[in-house]
Every structure is written in C-alpha cells, then in structure tokens.
Amino acid sequence: MADGKSSSETAGKPIRCKAAICREAGEPLVIEEIMVAPPSPYEVRIRIICTSLCYSDITFWKLKVPPACFPRILGHEAVGVVESVGENVNEVAAGDVVIPVFLSECGECGDCCSKQSNLCSKFPFKLHPWMPRYESSRFTDLKGETLYHFLFVSSFSEYTVVDVCHVVKIDPSIPPNRACLFGCCVATGVGAACKTAKVEAGSTVVIFGLGSIGLAVAKGAKLCGANRIIGVDVNPDKFEVAKNFGVTEFINSKECGDKSLSQVVKEMTGGGADYCFECVGIASLVQEAFASCRKGWGKTIVLGVDKPGAQLNLSSAEVLSSGKILTGCLYGGVKAKSDIPLLLKRYTDKELVVDEFVTHEVKFEDINKAFELLVGGKCIRCVIWMDN
C-alpha cells in the first residue's frame, strides 16, 4: 500500500494505492486499489496531499459523448509531494511540494517565451486521456485494465504521474488546502481580471455566473481597483456570499421582465460595462455578455466551458462597428511556472485572501459527498484530504 513508504523504497517501482474512479457517466465514483507506474523520462510521480473539486470535473463526470471516456480518474486542482522523478527531470526532486496544473509551460516554444500567450505550442492543451508525450496511461486497475487520465493531472488518486511541464514547485509552508486552489480556480479568475482583461482602476465590471470562477474574477477585479463589480446569477442567495469577494451589485437574470439581460446591464451602467466576464459556459450568455459591454472599448472575456460543439451567433456588422473585444481565456492567461509563484506571494503577503473559497472539507473516502455539495450548489470549493 501507499502509506508509510519513502520515495527511496518506491522509486522505479509501481505503487499500489487508492483512487476514486469514474466508471460510468454521472455515477458515484468508486474507490478502488490501482497500480501507478513509475514516471517515464520527463515525468514526475506525485503523492497527493489534498485536492479540490472544480465544476469542470462535474462537467466531464456527467458527459456521455466524446471527449468523455471511461474508466477515468478525474481531478485537476491539487497539491502534492514529489515521490520520484523520471530521467531528464531537473527542476523538481523527491520531497518537493508541487502544484500539478492542466496547462503546460515548456519554457522553450515561441508561446512560452512570449509574454503574449500562456498556450504552450510544444504540449498544447487538449482533452486528452493520456500522458502528453507518450500517448499512454500510467494507471491500471488490479485487473490490468487501463484507466484514463484527465487534464494531464488526475488528482483523485493517492498517487499520480504528471509531465514536468505541468508541475510547479511551491513553498512548502503554504497550507495545502489553500495552495491547491491556485491549480485552477483562483489562478483562472484572478488571472482573467488582472492579466487577460487588465481591469483598470475605477472601471465597471460585470460577472456572469457567481460560481467559484466568477467569485475569483471578483477578487481579481477588486485587486485591480474596479469601482463597480456587478454579479449576474439565477440564484439571489449568491449575492450575500459574493459581497465577501468584492461584488457590489447584483442582477437576478430571471427577473429582467420584458428586457434582455444586456438591456438591464446597459441601463445600470450608462451604456455598457467596461469588462464582462462569462463564467458559466453557455453560448447565449456569451452573446449577452458581448452585448452588455460598452461600445468603443468594452472587453468580453470567456472563461466558461460550454458543451462540445456549441456555436456562437454574432452579428458581423456589430463586431465591425462596435469596436468591442471578445476573447477566450484559458487558465486566466496565467503561465503556470512563471505566474503561480507570483500569485502565491500575493497570498502569503495577505494581499490576496482565498480562505472564503473553501466552504467544506472532506476525507477522500467521502469524495462523493463533495460531488453532492457542488452539484447541489451548497459549496464554493470542497477540499478532499487524502488518507495517506
């Protein structure tokens, strides 16, 4: 078993440990013993300390059509300790505390060397069931069946294997149940406001969807000095919570009467918001967000993950004549190895407070409880602590 073994005892050997496996779409995860292979060249095997549940995990847990695949180990927001490394890995070593991330930074390609992009060309982001270099899995169940990876992380396992381009070394003194949030939620939302949109002081921001990503956008907008931060959601109970994250006003999108949501926003803002953030993942809401931002300089940033094949329907004439910007934003525009240490410093300096995100914590054996809480809208982030 995984418990109690030092890296010197396990390096180069398969590890038997527990994982929560998604075997069928929408069905409770099954905790089983699995085998985790040693890391190949350029790979790192990590003992997960804790992981948190993101709504992207829920999306792919429910999904029944490609790119869904089963059986799979979900999870992509975590902190762990390096157990062993493969050949050609020099930047981390056994015992280092790390955040595994779903977006790579190779440090060599044109995109990684540019300040303009966080989209690595050498190992591009894709919804891929394998390790990025080798098109193979490091997980098998005790019957020898292959278990698929998720977003290059698969943190719902006591041990996982991640490519070194997807690993960020961090200060071990940072509490793991806070550091894990920077693997997706906090970095995505704060980065979208501070790095992608570059929200200006005194500006007006509208956030469509007050889930964890939307709340992280609010945190980022507040850090940037936004004057008005308007939250939009179908659940009015979220406004009281959102106030703690910097949201100043609220629109219940179910109560717009005979007006469109964008009409309501324009009336509230005197012509449109400076920045709109779509954090739900619905094409029609992206269109409403774009219609809600101000002509001439308004920016709409898309963070939500929509269903496969979803299409936008925009007026070509409006795009031409409005002078507005519509842009996608993966992982907040954040470069993992370059920017996560900077965000963590803002956390340790108490400039960026993230404690409010963690509303629940459960043991690994109760991971399905975390799914129930998030699906039921009863938590922002639920941290899952490993048994080891």
Per-residue model confidence as pLDDT tens digits over 116-141: 999 999 999 999 899 999 999 999 99
Burial of 355 (0-12, 13-18, 19+ CB in 10 A): exposed
Q: Mean pLDDT, to the nearest integer, of 88-116?
A: 97
What is the DSSP code string of 152-187?
Answer: TT--SBSEEEEEGGGEEE--TTS-HHHHGGGGTHHH
pLDDT for the residue numbered 387: 77
In this model, does residue 109 exceed pLDDT 60? yes
In this model, does residue 1 exceed pLDDT 50? no
Confidence of residue 388 (pLDDT cuts 50, 70, 90): low
Confidence of residue 244 (pLDDT cuts 50, 70, 90): very high
Whole-number average pLDDT of the chain: 96
Q: Mean pLDDT, to the nearest integer, of 252-257?
A: 95
pLDDT for the residue numbered 4: 42
In this model, does residue 3 exceed pLDDT 60? no
Rounded Cα distance between 293 and 299, Å, is 6
Total length of the chain: 388
pLDDT for the residue numbered 6: 54
Q: Mean pLDDT, to the nearest integer, of 220-248?
A: 97
Whole-number percent of the chain with pLDDT over 90: 95
CB atoms within 10 A of CB 252: 15
Contact 14, 37 (CB under 8 A): yes
